[in-house]
Structure formats: C-alpha cells, structure tokens
Amino acid sequence: MIPVYRDKWRAIALSTERIDREKATEAVRVAYAAIGKKEPEIIFCDSSYAGLQILIQKQLELDINKELINFIFSTLINKNNEVLYKLDTQLINKLRLLRADFITTRDYVLIDELKFKTQLKKNLHSPWLKSQWLASNCCWVNFYVSVLNCSYNQIRWQVLQSLAKFCGWILCYENICIICDRPLHLRFDNQNRLHAEGEPAIEFIDGYSLYSYHGVTLPEKYGKIYPQQWQAEWLLSEENAELRRVLIEGIGYARICQELQAIELDTSQEYTLLKIDTDVDEEPIYLLKMTCPSTSFIHALRVPPNINSAREAISWVNWGVDPEKFGVQT
C-alpha cells in the first residue's frame, strides 16, 4: 500500500489547480483556533514573490509556523506497537516523498530571497510553511492511520490534512495569514526533477517564474533560451561552477570545441586529442574528438587532463583497453 499513498499525496502536492479560497480560509481559521489564536486577516496572493512583497510592506515579524507545527505533530500518532516502533524510521523514509522523485522547494525560496536580498531582515529565512512539506507528512500519517490502524488525534490530523489539501504556501503570523496560490505549471524531467527547456519549470498566474535545467535553478537569461541555442562563449564569463557545468552539458563538447577553437594536441586515425585553453572550467578541458568516417559526425568526450596522447585517451575511454587489442574497430 505504500505506493498507493505516495501517489495520492504526490498528486495533491503537485496540483496546479487554483485553490478554493473558501476552503483555504476555513482551513486556516480552524488551524489558528486549534492553537488558541484568533482568526487572522487572510490575504491571498498569486505567487511566492507577491507574498513576500506583502510581508515586507506590512513589516511582519515573528511567524507562528513553529507553534502551529508543534501543535500538529505533538502526539498526533500513537505508536505503541513494539514492531511498529522498530520499523518506524524505515516506513517514514519510504512515505515522506522527500526523494529525488519529489519536488524540492528550495528553488522557490532561493529566487525569492535573492530578489529581496536587500529588504529581508536577517532573521527572516524561508518563512513559508510549504504545502509540499505538509503533504509529504500527510502521506505517512495517512498510511499509519488507514493501513496500520494506529490511534491518532483527530483534531491535529484534520488540521494537517486541510492545510495540505486546500492551501498553497502560507505565511502564518499572529494576526495575518498570507496564502499563496498554486503554480499554473510545474514541469519535470524523466527523473522528476524540475526541468524545462525554453520555458519556465515553475510558472505562477502573475507571471513570476522559475527556470530549471534537470533540477538546477537557472537565471532567466539561460532558461528562456533552448539549450541548442546556448553559446559556448557564455562559459568564459559565467562565474558559477554549477551553471558552467549545466552550460557544458547543454551545449555539448562538440560545439564547445568548434566555437572556442580548441587546440589540437595529438591525432590517431579518426581520433584527435584537444585542449581548450580558455578559462572555461575549474581545470583544463581535454577532449577526445571522434569523427565518424562515413557520416563525418563529430562526437567529443572529456578525458583527464593528465593524458598526453590520442592513443592514451582512446584507451582511457575504453576502460583501459589498448586500441591495438580491439577486435573490431567501429
């Protein structure tokens, strides 16, 4: 039953449907009442960026997220079975959804904090109570309650479910609660990492967007352009090592060789050992260029910088087998 509950709550966590404002309002009202707080003023916003703008305009400080979380999870589930206690860590790890196949929320916060770097107060870090995190916790609680028949606190479980199901991200303060609507679009690669080419991986209704390439957050100047149109010369000015790696992956060594005028060091039949002298990566780039005799298609593979000949590079690419020992050369 573990995959059933993972799929159920993953669908809720990754929903792009507009939130029902009446249900969201009721979920927040009940949550505040449960921790002894009066009903807050509820403000809806279209993106996480817009939500932080409201936070700054109203100069809100000291969120009550921790107080709410402590209430929800304090004695929520009664794990009084000895076998269940021993299996607890293994089960929760399988049910939390916090693996590579689940959306990571650091990217939302990363862009928000960069844009508000000069305005956010020093003690304000990632203030959102995130619906994805709540849904991830709902997954294992739902399993414990429905499948393992654990006893539980109904009020705490209802508060947790309602916040995860009916709200987007929320900013909880003493008298004000800001609710961010869900994104219009969420796009992933085949490993379920945030990914899109030439368009945002996350896009909100007000136009605020996040670009991502196989899970790596990209600046808009790269993200809005298809990788086939990325330029090798960008590597010369890009200071971020992770972004350089992404650019190299997207552009491909064959194009980099041609556009950055790689130096030829040695040749052996249709193989050429090349070096790129420009300061593209943290260490010199040595490439083995392979030209197909029949199609003239060029393919390039990176090899260690301590290699001195094309033949040595060929051997390294082929797991240490010397070229002369190849039974058939293709």
CB-CB neighbours of 205 under 10 Å: 16
* CA atoms in the 13 A half-sphere facing the CB of 188: 11
> Scanning the structure block, which residue is given the tokens 């090899």?
303
Determine the Cα–Cα distance for residues 83 and 75; give it in Å rounded to an integer. Answer: 19
Beta bridge partners of 171: 178
Smallest Cα–Cα separation from 148: which of 96, 85, 97, 72? Answer: 85
Mean pLDDT of 79-101: 67
Least confident of 12-21, 165-174, 271-280: 271-280
- Give the model confidence (pLDDT) of 274-318 as tens digits: 888 766 667 778 888 887 777 776 677 888 888 889 889 888 888
**What's the pTM?**
0.74
pLDDT (0 to 100) of residue 126: 59
Confidence of residue 107 (pLDDT cuts 50, 70, 90): very low
pLDDT (0 to 100) of residue 108: 46
CA angle (206, 208, 212) in 5-degree steps: 145
CB-CB neighbours of 85 under 10 Å: 10
Determine the Cα–Cα distance for residues 74 and 304; give it in Å rounded to an integer. Answer: 54
pLDDT (0 to 100) of residue 162: 96
pLDDT (0 to 100) of residue 280: 66
pLDDT at residue 244 is higher than 90 = no
Confidence of residue 4 (pLDDT cuts 50, 70, 90): very high
